[in-house]
Structure formats: C-alpha cells, structure tokens
Structure 1
Amino acid sequence: MQSFLETTLSKLYTDHNSLEKLTYVVPSKRAATFLIKYISSFLKAPVFSPKIYSIEEFIAEIADLEYASNTALLFELYTSYSKTPIQQKDDFNSFLKWGQTLLQDFNEINRYLIDDKTLFSYLSSIQKLKSWGVTDTKTELISNYLAFWTSLPKIYNDFNTQLLNKRKGYQGLVYQEASKAIEAYLELQYQQTFVFIGFNALNKAESSIIQKFLANGNSEIYFDIDAYFLKDSIHSASYFIRYYKKNWTYFSSNSLKGITENYSKKKSIQIIGVPKSVSQAKYSGSLIKKLHASNNLKKTALVLADETLLNPILNAIPEKISEANITMGLTLRNTTLASFFEAIFELHINNGKNGFFYQDVLKFLSNPYAAILLSSDGMDYSKKIKDTIHKNNWVYLKLEQIQSIIPSKDTSTLQLFNSSLNTHSLIQLLQNTILILKEKASDENNSFDLEQLYHSYKIGNQIEEHLNSSDFAINTKSLKSLFFELLSKETLDFRGNPTEGLQIMGMLESRVLDFETVIITSVNEGILPSGKSNNSFIPYDVKLEFGLPTYKEKDAIYTYHFYRLLQRAKNVYLIYNTEPDVLEGGEKSRFINQLLTDENINQYISHTIASPNVKSNATKDSSVKKSPLLLEELKLLAAKGFSPTSLTNYIRNPLGFYRQHVLKIDVLEEVEESIALNTFGTIIHDSLEDLYRPFIERVLTPEMLLGLKERVPVIIERNFLKSHLGADLTKGKNLIIYNVIIKYLEDFIKNEISLIKNHQIKLLGVEQNLAIELNISELDFPIVLKGKIDRIDELDGQLRIIDYKTGNVTQAEVELMDWDTLIEDKKYNKAFQLLCYALMYSSKESVSSFEAGIIPIKKLSLGIIRFATKASSRGSKNYQIDDEVLSSFQLQLKTLILEIFNPEIPFVEKEV
C-alpha cells in the first residue's frame, strides 16, 4: 500500500524534479512530521529541509500575529465586557460559565468572515422579539438581558482592538487578519511554489486564502478523497470537496488532484460490539496483542473516537509492546495533581467562621501529594492529623489546631490552612507549593510528576500575571473555575518516535495519515459522529442564514475522517458499545449501518458481539479455623473478660465476633457531624448516671426528682460535648437531637415521679461495674465475665436489675420457654444480657431472688419490660430470677464458652 503522502510526493517529484524547493501546508503538525519522513525517502543526497507549515502556523505568518493564550483571552474578554453600560454585570466566576462560548462564537464569526454588525443586529432584534409584550414596561432582569445583546458589538470591537494592539489574537481574529494581508504576502512570495495537501473542511477564511494562492498560478492543492465517494452526489464524505469543485474558479480550468480508487478494493472489516467502555479498552488490548504476535504493529493505528478512553487503553496495552506513539496527550485535569489542587481550593471556598470543614481537610490529607508535603524525618504528619481529627471529633479546624499537632513542620506548607488568604496570596501559595513538590520530585527523579508540576506552574504564572495587571478582582471560587478551565485544556505530551510502532491517536490526528491496520473505538452515535450539540449563542436558523457551520457540517467532517481511514486500510476493526447510555454514546453509529447496507463493501464485513468470559465459582461458606495461635489469643481475651455484648455478638455472627474482638477490626472511625445512634445512647446513659448518682442508697421522693428537671439541659449539654467534641448545639440536627434527649429524660423523670406516688423506690446503684470468674472445669484457664449494670434498685422491697435501651424492645425478646434457644437464636440477645448482669450481681451479693428488666427510653409508656420464663406459650410467666434460673443459664453460658474454645468448631459467617 502506498500512502496518500507518498503518492502526492511522487507526483510532485515527477512534475518539479525536486521536493525541497517547494513550500508545504498541511492540516496539522502531526501530518508535517510524517511528510518530512516521506520526503527524506525520496532524497538521494542531504539537503536543507523544505518549509512545512501546519495551516494554523501558516496563517499566523501571513497575519503576522501571535496566538494569545486562553488565559489572556478570557481576561481580555472580561475587561471588554466590564466596559459596557450594562447595569448589573456578572462577576468573573459567572462570566467563566458563558465567556468561553462567546469566545467560540467570535471565533466562528471571524473564521467565516461574517459581517459582524449585521449579525449582532440580527441577534439583538431576535432577543427583543422574544421579550416583546403587550406593555412597554420591562423588568430589570429583562432590561439587563437585552442590554447584553445590544452591547455585543461593543464587546466584540473592543476585544479585537485590544488584542491587535498587542499583536496577538485568537484563531478567528488571526484568520480574519490573514485574509486582509494575503495580497501583500503574495507579492513578497511571488516566486515560491506552495502545495496544500490533505485538506477537507475549510472555513471561509482558509478557503479564500488558498484560492488566492491557487489563482496566483504557481500553487497546487491535493485532496485526499476516493473516487467512490466523489461520484456519489449525496455521500457526506465528499461533501466539502464536491462543493470546492463546483464553486472554486480554479477548478473551472483545473482538475482535482489526489483522487484515488482504493476504497472498493478487497479488505477485511470486522465490526465488534462489546459492553461498556472499559470492555472496549480490554478488547483493543487483546487485538494489539494478536497483531504484535504476527508482527503487524508497525503500520497499525488505534484511533480513539472518545479520547477519554486513553487511560483505560494505556492500561490495556500489553507490556510486550516496546514501541507506541501517543499523539493526543493526557489532559492535566484528569491527574491526581489536579485533584490535589481541587482539594486546596475546596478548603478555602468552604472555609467559614468556624474554620475549615473536616471533610474538606480529610479530602486534602488523603491526596498523596499532601502526604509528600506533610512528611519529614520518616513521620507521616498527614496521618497524624487525620487520626487526631477522628479522635477529638473535630468538625471544624483552624490553623492553630493543625500547628498544635505538627508545630515544627515547615510554616510555608502549613499556610495552606491559613483561612485569611486572599486570591493573590492563594495563587502565590499554590506556586510555592508546586516548587516544594518539584524539589521532592527532582530528588526522586520522578519525570512524570515534574512534567505535571511544570505545566501547572506555567498556568499559575499566567493567572498571577493577569491578576496583577487586571483592574478587576476575582474571588476564590472564580480562581478555581479559571484554574481548572485552563487545566482541562493543558495536556501532557507523551514522548516517542512519532513515525514508528503502534500509533494511538484521536480522529483529528489521523488526517492525511494512512495505515494498513486500523482499530477505531467508540463507533457509537453521539460520539462518531458527535450529534446535534450546539454550544453557541447563535441560533441554528441564524447560522444557516449567515453561512456559519452547523451540526450538519460537523457530521460531514466526521464522515470524511471515518471513511478516509478505511480507504487504503487492509484490516479494519470497528468497536462499539452495545450498552449505550447518556455518557457513553447512543446506539451503534450510522457509519456501521451504512457499511452493512453498502452492496459494494458489505461482502468484506463480519459483525460479531463479544463479551468477556465470566467464570462462575461456587461461593464457599466463610469460616476461620481455630489454630493454636488463635486459641491463645482467645485465652488472653477471656482473661481480660467477655462482656455480655461480645458474647451476643458471637451468637449473632461468630465470624463477626472473630473480626471485632480477636482481630480488633472495628467499625471505621468517622467524625460525627451529628451524633450517631451509639453516641445518642451514650449521652442518655451518662446523663442518667450524673442525675441519679447523688441518690444512691436513698429512697426517691417527688421533691428529689423535681429538682433534677432543672439540671437536665446542663448535664445533657456537658455529656453531649464530652461524647461529641466540637458539636454545635445551636443549629441543625444536633440542636434537634439535643432537644429530643431533653424530652426523653424529662419524660423519664416524670414517669418516676408518677410511680413513686404509689410505690417506694430505693436506689442501690447506677452504672455499676462488675466482673466474675466463671468456673468451667473443662477449661484450665480463667474465663472472666464483666459488664456494667445501668441501674439497681428496690421497688416496694423487690430487688430489680435494670438495663436502659434506646432501641426498640418487645416482651417476646425477654421471655424464655426453651433454654436452648438462648444461645441459638439472636432474638434472645437482650434476655441473654439481662441474665449475664443477674449472674454477675448474684455472685457478688447474697440475694435469693430478684427481677431483671429493660426500660425502653423511647417508649416509657411500656414501663419496665421484665425478663420471664414460662413452660408453654400460654403458660404463666415467672418473673423471678432465682437459683434455678441462674443454674439453667450457667449451663447455657458454659455451652457457649466451650463452643468458642472448641478447636473443632470454626468461626463461621451467619446472616445478620
């Protein structure tokens, strides 16, 4: 296969007997690189390289202007907008949301050499018609809106004037100026032969300039189009070239050059449908692996219609591939460094009077670059700060708190937590932070980090320069928007041999290049072609009226690039997503349907649906065998003491007991913005203890309890802050919970007052810690049972052990009919806990009979829910806990302990 560039150069060499004396203009820098390679293959002796321009470079030379950076354009455009008489102007942050769109529209107006006065007048009239009403009175909002459209000519003219005074411009302005300067340029270059190669969709400025070169008599143009499409009067692939042939004066006496007949030749086209984007990347990787094995990678291109697939594609490429050239670059916005900058901005945007919100601080500290900054002498201070936040439950943090954790750390880094930074100080701090990271990356010779940091520093410099020279101020939110707008346009270029090995590129990078094997991904509607998206202030009908491009022209461009890739290729793989959605494109592309219905080409096509091999492995029951080492750990645990809760955890789920109590894997510790259920219960328990402790060994009276009511709010607030450091009780959920707890405890006291009017209650103890050693003859090591009884009292002489519960409790959960169910069914966990407390208390105190029960804090109207035994479902209930009951319980407890220590019974997973 001879490529388009080789064919074109061969014709030029025949006609001119030389290639180095010509000046070449191609669509892109990428095309220029390949052109140099092919020119060198024609030369028999060393020569000076001919002039080769990309179209943008060429037009900038004609206009004698430089392209301004996107940062400069946005600042200049906002300055011009600020000069308008609009009463209520948007701030810079709001402007950024529509400024880029306006810039794009100005670009199109200039590139297509539109009469701006007529167009803006047209747009203004349309908006006035839209706002027309029965009365002439307009709201301030509508008046302001209309003023913007009326001011567009002023913004446009001032913007262009300011740029031209600095000899700079955006693409459209440069093209417009080049159109004005073309005559003078041609006079200086009258002896030079210009060759335009591989163009398709030209804007009006490009078309005008190229036609003037052709009219000059010594220039040529070569189109890359197959006769198959050119003969078809409705095929979009030749839409633009058919137009040029019909309307350019040059072609009235000259024929089209570069026309070939390759598309209809025999080729293999495989259409493969795979589910989702990642599967496309994986499938592409497997294709590349096969091609590498057969030595067919040298003339292979992997074309990404959706360039966001670059990262998964890079991960899917086999390690064996030694040579690959990536043309599109990695967007800086998608790097970890960008998320680091985002975390810094979020810190300062969300900063309030209470300090930095803990979630923003944790997000910042979780970034690997924060760990680099906050590490020294082998100490990871970022982890230390995170641990301290969790330990102290800090919801908001200030610089002083951070300094108290790492007082000796570099002060410039800690300034990231300075809440008083303004916009200028913040961008300077970002620049200093980048320099610190650069030193660390240099020490580790981390070229990837150095490249990212260089580009980020360059963006920061641009912003800082424009902030210092601008007359308007921007806030932190605007600074973030601008910074990330620029990051999204900055790419990290990959280094490699641009003409060797596997070529990975986007659709536009494939212009004028030919490959024997082509793999195209994401061949779905909405991606290839991109659909009817119209990010513009100019309505569709106005674009038609003024000759501006619409989605139809955009579709024709994609059609041309798609079919051009297929023209000379021998092997084509078209991969599409079979599971379309909004984010990943629609159904398979119309291009695939066109191929399948083309009688001249469908004989070479195969269509398959691929899916990953999914092996079904039978799930095994999760279990952990009790090794000698594990049994030793259990013995240590037993010596320290089993709590009733830990034993009920075992009944509920033995494997969960192993994880929590043996491995010490607890629930992830998190900062509580509003208190969790367990903290809610802790506050109630601690508050009841503080309220009732002064009355131990005393008979309760109404006067005593009435005096408690006044103390309730103060004691709850104290325990609230003890359990939930940094809590704000003046607003939000915490205020609601605070008042709910007050209500619960006031109701609790009210119920007690009502009870003691007819009964006598003597308080014997609150929150009493107990521990006993169990006598289990089968085990030769100590087993300790420990726990805390919430309350012990006497009601009319009846001893009661009471447990407070803030959750739901029913009588059925504390009534036993079959003792074996106590350690088999988790339903009876509350009964099990009550009996544990009863056993511990009876072992310490000589009592023959007593009761045990639960007071449900949320449903005090139920009274005390007492433990009971009964012989049958309809039998009478026995509420007394005596020696017989305790003896039966001890047998069950012994069985449970022996099971825990039985090496033959593993810890197994139970459904909770």
Structure 2
Amino acid sequence: MECSFLSLVAKDLLSRYDDTIADFRFVFPNSRTRIFFLDELTRLLSRPLWQPHFCSVDDLFCSISGLQHAERLVSVVELYKCYSNYHKEDFSSFYFWGEMLLSDFDSNDKHLIDAEALFTNLNDLKTIDARLSYLTSEQIAIIKRFWSSFVDKAALSNEKREFLNIWQTLYSIYCEFGKALSGKGLAYTGQMQRRAVEIIRDGGGLDSNGTHYVVVGFNALAETEKELFKYLKRNFEVDFYWDYDPYFRDDVHQEAGLFVRENLSLFPVPEGFDPGDNFRKSKNITAVAAASNSLQCKYVGSVLKHLADRGSALDKRTAIVLADENLLVPLLYSLPDKVEKSNITMGYPLRQSLAYSFTDRLLNLQKRVRRSSEGAVSFYHSDVTGILTHPFMLSAQAADADTLYKKVISNGRIYVEGSLLKEYGGLIDNIFTPCDTPAELTAYICRILSSLDESIVIDVADEADRRQAMLQREYFVRIIETLGRLHRSLSGCGVEIDNVTYSTLIRRLLQSQSVPFEGEPLEGLQIMGVLETRNLDFDNVIILSMNDDMFPGTRSASSSFIPHNLRFAYGMPTREYQEGVYAYYFYRLISRAQRVEMVYCSSSDDGSTGEQSRFIYQLDYESPHKVTHRELSVDVTMAQGSEVQIEKDEMVMARLSEYLSGGKRRLSPSSFNVLLECPMKFYLHYVAGIARREEISEEIDTPMFGTILHDAMQTLYTPFIGIHNPSAAIAAITPKEIDAAIEDAVRKNLLGGVSGVTAAEFTGQVQMSCEAVHKYIKNNILPYDAAQCGFTISLLEQPVSAEFEFECGGKPLSVRFGGKMDRMDILDGGMLKIIDYKSGANHLEFKGLADLFSDMPEKWSGAVVQTMLYSLMVSRMQKAGKVVGDDVCPALYYVKQMHQTNYCDLLKDLLQGVRVERYSDYREELEDYIAQRLAQLFDATIPFRQREDATNVCPSCEYRHICNR
C-alpha cells in the first residue's frame, strides 16, 4: 500500500494549513478513524503539535437540538405507554415489535419524511395527488398502487384489517411519543437530528466562533446529515474529504458509487485532492470455498503462517474482517503462534461467555420454580443439575456441588425439593432461593454474580491467566450494570411486568452486549467487523463469511412495519440502499490492498446458504482482476485408521477375574450380548467402567419404557401367581387397574417413589408413553394371555443365576451368569416357559446358533441370545433341584405385535425351519459356543478389538467417538 486515505487527508491538510489545523474541529464517522488519522498525522509531523478537536455528527446534532440521547430501553417503554392509549397489548408482546416501530420512527425522522402523510390512510385515492404534490409522479403512482388494495374494506383480509387498524393510529402515536421524550429533555437519534434541522431552518444552529470544520470519510448520508453539512458549508470554513475510486465513482451502474457521486456534487473535495486510482492496480485476489465455518477459521491460520514465513509482519497492515461475528471465538483459537499481538475491535460477545450462560441458567431456574399448596418450593431437575455442573460452581463450591448433584441424581425426582438444596449454605443456598418480582430477580442475580466476582484472583503471575480473570470480571460488571439499568428504566417509567417477561428482556439486552478486549489499536494484527473497516486501509485483507446472506446480507430494511413500496416511494432506505452501503465498504476496503482473501462457507447446513457473495461474482465478471478460486473440503466418509485394540494386561485380567466363581460380579445376559456385539464395547463399559453420565429423564426412553411395562405387568399378574389357568381373571382386568399399575411404575422408576403425584401431573411425553404402555397391555398382552390355556404363572421379575464351566488355555474356569427373569410359566405337562417382554421390533428369527455367535452374523438377534441364556440358567437350576419342571421353552413377547392373529411367541430357527419348543434341543451346541466366547474373553493373549462390521451397531454406540467410528 503506497499511501492510505487518512494519510492523504493528513498530507493535504498540512500542505494547506500547516500547524493551524490544531484549531480545526474534525468530524469522523467513528472513533477508529480518529485514532488512525492521528497516527498518520503524527508520522507526518516534524515538530510537536497540539491535538486538534474532534467531534461526531451526533455531538453536533445534540448541541443544536438541546436534547439528550434516550436509552433505547427507555424509548421502547415510553413508546409502549403511548401505544397503549390506542391498542391493548401486554408489554412482553409489544417489546420486540416496539423496537421495530422505534426503528421506523427513527428512519422516518433521519430522512425527513412527512410523518403525517406517511402514516395516514390514503385509501381515498382522489386525495393523494393533492396531499402529496411535492412527490414525483412515479412516487405518487407507487403509493396509489399500494393503497388501491385497501379501497374495498369489505374484501380486506384479517391481516390487512389488522394492519390498517394499527396504521391509522401511528401518526398520533408518533406525535405523542415524540412529545413524551422531548418533555423530559430526551430524544431518539432520528428525533434529535430532525429537531436540529428544524432549528437550523429557523435560523438557529451552532455558535459562529470562526471554527474550521473538517468532515472526513462519510458515505451514505441521511437527509438530516445532508442538511447539517449544508449548514456547515454555508456558515463555516469547512473541508470535505470522501474516499472514492474512479472505478466505482465513474460507473453509474456500480452500486458502490451510489452515494459517492451525490456527495461529491453536494460537498466537493478541496481542489487538488485525489484519493488515487487504486482499485485497478495489480492485486492477488483469492476466493476460497470452505466446507464449514471451522474450516474457514483454520484456513486463516494457514494464510497468516504463510505470510509470516515469507517475512511479512503480522501487524496493523493485515486485517481479518468478520462478516459474521460468531466466528470470532473459533478464529482466535485458530491463530498461529506467530501472531504475537492482535487488536480486536469488535469486542467479545457477552452471550458466548460463561458469565452469560450462568446467568441464563439462573433465569431458567427461576422461571420453572414450583410452589405447592402448602408453600413448599421445588426446582426443575435439569435447571438444578445444569447449575451444579456449571464451571463456576465447580470452582466456587466444588465439593458441595458434586455431592448435591449425586444426591439429586440418586433421588430421581423431576422436581427437586428446596429443602434438599438448603443444606449446604454459601453460594448454593443463595442460588436456590425463589424470586417473585423483577426487583427480587435483579437483586438475586446481582448478589450471586457479585459473590463470584469477589472470588476471582487478579494478581496472578501468568499474563494469560490475568487477562482471562480481568475479562471474567468485566463480564460480571457488565451484566450487573445492565440489570441495574434495566430495572431503573422500568421502575422509572411505571411499567409493571412479570418475571417471565423480565427474564426475556434481560436476555435480549445481554445478547446484544460485547466486552472490549485489552489491546493497542495501532499495534498487531487487526481483527474487526465490516463497519470498523471504514476509512482504514491494509496491505493484506482476509474476509470471512463472504457469503451473500452475510455480505451484503439481509439487514434492517426487512425489519420494518412500513411496507417496502411505501419506503421506496417516500425515499426511505430499502434493501437496495443497504446493498449500496455494503458495496462501498467492500470495494473501498480492497482498493488499496495488495492481497485479498475472501473465504465463504460452501455448506448450506452450517448457518449459511452456501452461496458466495455477489461481490465475488462482480470481481469475476466485471473487474479487471483475475480471481483465483479454491475449494477447501473435508473427507466426510469415515476414516479407516488403524484398528483400535486393548491388550489384556494385569489390571484388565484382574477386572475380568471378578466375573469368575467367587468373584463379586455376575455376567448378565445383556452384558454377554454386548460381548457378542463388540468386544471393545464390552471392555469400555464393563471392564474400564466408562459409562455415560447418569441423568434424570422426564421422558420415557426405550429402556425406561420397558421397565415401566415390566413393573406394571408384575403388579397386574402378582395376584395370579400359582393359579392354574388364570385366563378368565386376566380377561377381567379393568383399564382402571392397568392405569393404576402404570402410574405406580412411573412413580417408582421416574419420580423416585414420590407419592401423591397423579397421572395428570406427568409431563406430556410421560403421559403419551403411559398411554402407549396401556394400549400394549390392554390390547395385546392381556388378550393374548387370556386366550391361552394350560399354564400357571410361577415367577415374576425373579433373580436367577447359574455357574458355567469352561476351559481357557487348558485351565478349568467358571463364571456365574445372573440376571432378572421377566416371567416364568409352568405349562401343563411340566414344561417351564421363560418369557421375556420386548418393546422393540420383532426379532424372533435366527439362522442357527453358529450365525448368532459369528463375528458377522447374517441374522443377529440379541433378544434370542438373551432368552436362551435365561433358559440355560433355569435349566441348570432345574438340574440342581431349585426349580421343578420337565424342560425349558424360551419365548419372547414382542408387545407391539402380539395383537396380530398369527403371532407366535416361540423362537424360529430359519436354518432348520422349526420353532424352538425345547431348550434341550439346543443346549449342547449353545454351551459349546458360549464356552468358546468365554475362553476368548479370559485369554490374556487375545486383545479386545472392535467388531469387524461397523454398519449396524456402531452408529448408535455411545463409544463410537473413542473408536473413531
């Protein structure tokens, strides 16, 4: 870069005015322009000079109008009070569209639109020509077309009626709102600017004290700003400097020059000043399509490393521009070590901080607090556990938080009693205190955050830790200040809201906040948003999220109550206006750059449309530059890395030995199933003990569904144990009895055994699941059993176990199988029928035992293996005289299919084409296969390996991230 725009301005001023510029008053569009201008000015000076005076456009408008800026929240509240005089709506419903209406009023005033004409119903088409004679014929035609659809009131849709109902009151609301604010000496930005223009037109203005103004680097001017600059031009010495390039200044079709051409006409630059023909100079321009947002950030790291390796200093001459500020955090993690200093101008989004997430959890906790008729307080389980596991709790009161978490989990209650949470004191006691009003909620959050703030240690040796601690403290301060300001604003305006609405407002305000980073703006790599790039020039420019929906994007023009055609007709900003603004930002930014990297997300499922920006297309087809296109993709197919395996060392063998006779563990049918499915999964779960963290569920998942079904059936059938042929009694079971059994099962398994909770108090998901269980019992299981004869229910939910001997390396070993059998019937003739309830899909069929025990079975059915193992245990108990019977018959009750007329509960061996009626027919072969698998399990030379076929089991396995599958 030969010379930046701000350097050219400084040179021109010094050449014309020398050190008298110290008395000038400079007007810049933002503070960053001021900082960089001073830097350029300092470089050019050969002797000390008093710093010139600086002000903003808002400062000038404020001085002329005599009004002060009203906080946006105060403005919305005052607007609500005026709106309520015409329409009844609660504040929570009004707030968000009230912000939109405030923006419309603001835009209306900034562009000096006749509010009475705009907000008046002009469906009397004859009056339009007379009332809007100051508009062009094209504008009047557009307005007529719009209001013509409202002429026939009887044919209006409900939406149009509602629109018209509000529209007809907007002018009155607008006037009352303006008076309410100005009566307090306040104004929103547009109102202040309009009032200043009115004063100027009436002959007022700024003190004429010979001030020389310098206006630098503006682009899209509102009508009020044009009037202000005209006033300065008439009454003061003033120089205007615009940054433009002939490429977009001279081409009337180039949207980037939309405002430049008018600005130069109204406010010419000083004679001889020329920003230069920079855009057409040679540049290295690259457009990069990245498969994801994270890949965009990683690419930046590689570009910076490449620049550093080539000897380029990663300083203020290099800028990373984020069209999407959500990429700031992942970008920071992607910066290479070669970046020694960086300056982040956009601030860290508060909503991405731990302080915000903790505040959000506190709000959720208070939102769902319950009070019983006796006044007892309880809190929703996920809110409680979410707070107890938050990093702040793990550092502030870790031991108590962990103990309480385990107690809450073991309690198993959906709602946790407040008394359980009040035993620990300190921060925990403060947190689990209910709040009834916004005032209490404000004090509650501020008290907790202040307590956390006091625990932060700032005086630490490590600089990174110190900065992190300072940043954390700044988050707390920002949240506390925001809550205080919100509460004072609402209290001062006399608007009463509930805690739910108040919580929504808190989130809304906090989500828009950012906390500035420490850093020197003139040093290091520059990381900024699009707006911060105004008037700044860089050698290297890297733009992220260069997607069309981000740059230029869809911005404020779409968030308006004023229809697009009326906005266009009255000269208010439209989508085309916004596109012109961002086109200028883009082309001006890259004009003096030597290297430009434009990176966009090519995926349509990563918060983007996947479409590159129109500006990239324009560079391709309209500019003199050749754009190099690259694609960054990732291999979305599963990587076939080296096999994961675990050797059986002494520690592993010691854990396995616990399953042997005399050990403390039993091998259940379900765990043996896991061994057959995947030895690695067996190791991770049963040997290494890596289990998913236990959680409380308010819904009934598949395992819980089966548990409730089993317990309900146990309750219903327990009275019939030992009764021969209970078919008639089963048929007589009533729906009310079924419901009672299901409710008891839910209370026992889902609510921690709490009494007094009826089905009506269950969550919607639980009620739906209960209805499904009821249907399966009433329509499937009971009719099926009632149609049987010649059986006696012998055992329900009965623990069973048996020793199993096998050889491993020539050494005799024995394991103990054990589990809880769902049900055992004794059939006439002495056959013992082992029944296993299943709530999933029907898997009664198998292709012989050899297939079940192979590494890649054609017809896998864990249910068949499981019921066969129960049959094995009962058979051995029968031989030992612990149960009396002839033989064993394994059976599966697939409760979803039992209503089918051809349903049979017996296993089906497809290899032999027969139903399995007697376990003894398979006993010898089954025991051989089991012995082989157990021998492999206890063989220290055979490591635990992944299953060969990853297709069926791995996608739903909770350990797939460990195996890289």
Same fold (TM over 0.5): yes
Deviation at 1:796, TM superposition (A): 3.3
User: d(CA) in 2 for partners of 1:179 and 1:879?
Assistant: 97
1:722 maps to: 748
Aligned-pair CA distance for 1:31 = 0.9
Contiguous gaps of at least 5 residues in structure 1? none
Partner of 2:381: 358
Paired residue for 1:489? Answer: 512
Residues 828-843 of structure 1 aligned to structure 2 (within 5 Å): 828-829=864-865, 830-843=867-880
Residue 907 of structure 1, aligned match among 937, 940, 944: 944
In the aligned structure 2, how far is the partner of 1:678 from the partner of 1:55? 66
Which residue of 439, 443, 458 corresponds with 1:428? Answer: 443
- On the 8 A contact 2:65/2:195 being kept in 1, the answer is yes
Residues 1:475 and 2:498 are matched in the alignment? yes
Tell me whether 1:289 sits opposite 2:305 in the alignment.
yes
CA distance in 2: counterparts of 1:739 and 1:524, whole angstroms: 48
- Is the contact between residue 273 and residue 578 of structure 1 (CA under 8 Å) also seen in structure 2? no
Amino acid in the other structure paired with 1:202: L
Shift of 1:30: 0.9
Shift of 1:365: 4.2
Q: Output the CA distance in 2 between the equivalents of 1:303 and 1:704.
A: 77
1:649 lines up with 2:651 in the alignment: no
Contact 1:226/1:259 (<8 A) preserved: no
Tell me how far 1:585 sits from its aligned partner.
5.2
Deviates more, 1:439-448 or 1:158-167: 439-448
Q: Which amino acid aligns with 2:650?
A: P
Partner residue, 1:440: 455
Distance, in Å, in 2 between the alignment partners of 1:285 and 1:68 is 43
Once residues 34 and 935 of structure 2 are traced to their aligned partners in structure 1, the CA distance between those partners, rounded to angstroms, is 81
Q: Give 2:912's aligned residue.
A: 873
1:734 Cα deviation after fit: 4.0
TM-score by length of 2: 0.82
Superposed, 1:692-707 pairs within 5 Å as 699=724
Distance 1:325 1:220 in 2: 31
Q: Distance in 2 between matches of 1:141 and 1:262?
A: 52
Worse-matched range after superposition: 60-69 or 697-706 = 697-706
Kept in 1: contact 2:874–2:888 (CA 8 A): no
1:783 matched residue in structure 2: 815
Is the 8 Å Cα contact of residues 647 and 943 (structure 2) preserved in structure 1?
Answer: yes
Q: Distance in 2 between matches of 1:264 and 1:145?
A: 47
Find the structure with the greater CA-based Rg. 1
Deviation at 1:447, TM superposition (A): 0.8
Q: Deviations over 1:228-262 (max 9, x none)?
A: 4433344333332322344x3x65xx866632323
Q: Distance in 1 between matches of 2:922 and 2:569?
A: 95
Deviations 1:783-836 (A, max 9, x none): 32334445555433424242332347979648x966786687654413343223
- Does the alignment pair 1:524 with 2:547? yes
In the alignment, is the contact (CA less than 8 A) between 2:245 and 2:279 conserved in 1? no
CA distance in 2, matches of 1:461, 1:288: 43
State how far apart, in whole Å, the 1-side matches of 2:255 and 2:159 are: 44
Note the C-alpha offset of 1:460: 0.5
- State whether residues 622 and 909 of structure 1, in contact with CA within 8 Å, keep that contact through their aligned partners in structure 2: yes
Matched, 1:611 2:611: no
Deviations 1:296-339 (A, max 9, x none): 33322222233333222222222321222121222323333323
Rate the CA distance shift 1:648–1:62 in 2: closer, same or farther, 3 A. same
* More moved, 634-643 vs 174-183: 174-183
The CA distance in 1 between the partners of 2:406 and 2:584, in whole Å, is 58
CA offsets per residue over residues 189-208 of structure 1, 9 Å max, x none? 33121111222221111111
Contact 2:123–2:151, Cα closer than 8 Å, also in 1: no
Does the C-alpha gap of structure 1 residues 13 and 881 become closer, same or farther in structure 2, counting only changes over 3 Å? closer
Superposition deviation, residue 20 in structure 1: 0.7
What amino acid does structure 2 have at the position aligned with 1:337? A
| Distance of 1:47 and 1:810 partners within structure 2 | 89
Contact 1:20–1:50 (8 Å) recurs in 2? yes
Amino acid at match of 1:340: F
| Inter-partner Cα distance in structure 1 for 2:611 and 2:783 | 68
- SS of 2:560 mapped into structure 1: coil
Q: What's 2:183 paired with?
A: 165
1:802 to 834, 846, 858: 834
Check the 8 A contact 2:8/2:275 in 1, yes or no. no
1:13 maps to a residue whose letter is L
Contact kept, 8 Å, 1:123 with 1:149, in 2: the verdict is no
1:524–1:576 Cα contact (<8 Å) kept: yes
The corresponding residue for 2:700 is 675
1:626 is aligned to 648
Deviations 1:43-89 (A, max 9, x none): 4444432201232233323333332222222222212222x233xx2
Give deviations 1:124-143, integer Å, cap 9, x for gaps.
8779754443649x999876
Q: For the residues of structure 2 that align with 1:306 and 1:715, how far apart are their CA atoms?
A: 55
CA contact 1:273–1:575 (8 Å) conserved in 2 = yes
Counterparts of 1:168 and 1:259, CA distance in 2: 41
- 1:57-68 aligned at under 5 Å gives the runs 57-68=59-70
Q: 3-state DSSP class of the match of 1:496?
A: coil
1:222 and 1:360, CA in 2 relative to 1: closer, same or farther beyond 3 A?
same
**Cα deviations across residues 419-470 of structure 1 (Å, max 9, x unaligned)?**
x622332222122222122212356861111111111111101111022222
Give secondary structure in 1 for the equivalent of 2:747: helix
Write the distance in 1 (CA, Å) between the matches of 2:113 and 2:909.
94
Q: 1:124 to 1:635 in 2, by over 3 A?
A: farther
Does the CA-based 8 Å contact 2:722-2:792 persist in structure 1?
yes
Q: What whole-Å deviation, never above 9, does each CA across 1:709-759 have from its counterpart, x for those lacking one?
A: 796655554344222326752364544554665666667666666655xx4
For residues 493 and 95 of structure 1, the distance between their equivalents in structure 2, rounded to whole angstroms, comes to 31
| 1:822-869 deviation per Cα after TM superposition (whole angstroms, max 9, x unaligned) | 687654413343223212332234979423232626328779845799
CA contact (8 A) 2:323 2:530 kept: yes
C-alpha separation in 1, matches of 2:121 and 2:851 = 88
Name the SS of the counterpart of 2:880 in structure 1: helix
Letter in 2 for 1:626: K
Q: What corresponds to 2:135 in structure 1?
A: none
User: CA offsets, 1:534-570, max 9 Å, x none?
Assistant: 2222233323333323222322222222222233333
Are 2:650 and 1:659 equivalent residues in the alignment? no
Structure 1, residues 588-617: CA drift from partner, whole Å, max 9, x if none? 333333333456x32xx3413142576995
Equivalent position amino acid for 1:208 in 2: E
Relative distance call for 1:236 and 1:258 in structure 2 (3 A) is: farther
Distance 1:728 1:219, change over 3 A: same
CA distance in 2, matches of 1:228, 1:796: 98
Paired position in structure 2 for 1:2: 3
The DSSP-based 3-state class of the residue aligned with 1:224 is coil
Provide the residue aligned with 2:473 in structure 1: 450
Q: 1:269 aligns with which of 284, 303, 308?
A: 284
Helix, strand or coil at the partner of 1:588 = coil
- Partner Cα distance (1:258, 1:461) in 2: 50
- SS in structure 2 opposite 1:428? helix
Instruction: Provide the secondary structure at the position in 1 that maps to 2:451.
Output: helix
Number of positions where the alignment pairs a residue of Structure 1 with one of Structure 2: 886
Q: 1:182 to 1:347 in 2, by over 3 A?
A: same
Identity of aligned residues (%): 25
- Structure 1 residues 141-150 or 324-333, which shifts more? 141-150
Indicate conservation of the 8 Å contact 2:256/2:587, yes or no. yes
- Identify the residue that residue 958 of structure 2 maps to in structure 1: none
Name the structure 1 match of 2:132.
Answer: none
Question: Are 2:892 and 2:907, in contact at CA under 8 Å, matched by a contact in 1?
Answer: no
Q: Decide which moves more: 127-136 or 296-305.
A: 127-136
Query: 1:369: Cα distance to partner?
Result: 3.5
- 1:674-709 C-alpha deviation (Å, 9 max, x unpaired): 433433443444455556656666656678768977
Q: Alignment RMSD, CA only? A: 3.8
Change (3 A) 1:467 1:428: farther
- 1:501 maps to a residue whose letter is G
Q: 1:139–1:511: structure 2 CA closer, same or farther, 3 Å change rule?
A: closer
1:800–1:852 CA contact under 8 A, matched in 2: yes
1:414 corresponding residue in structure 2: 431
Are 1:11 and 2:33 an aligned pair?
Answer: no
Query: For residue 85 of structure 1, what is the aligned residue in structure 2?
Result: 86
2:881 maps to what in 1?
Answer: 844
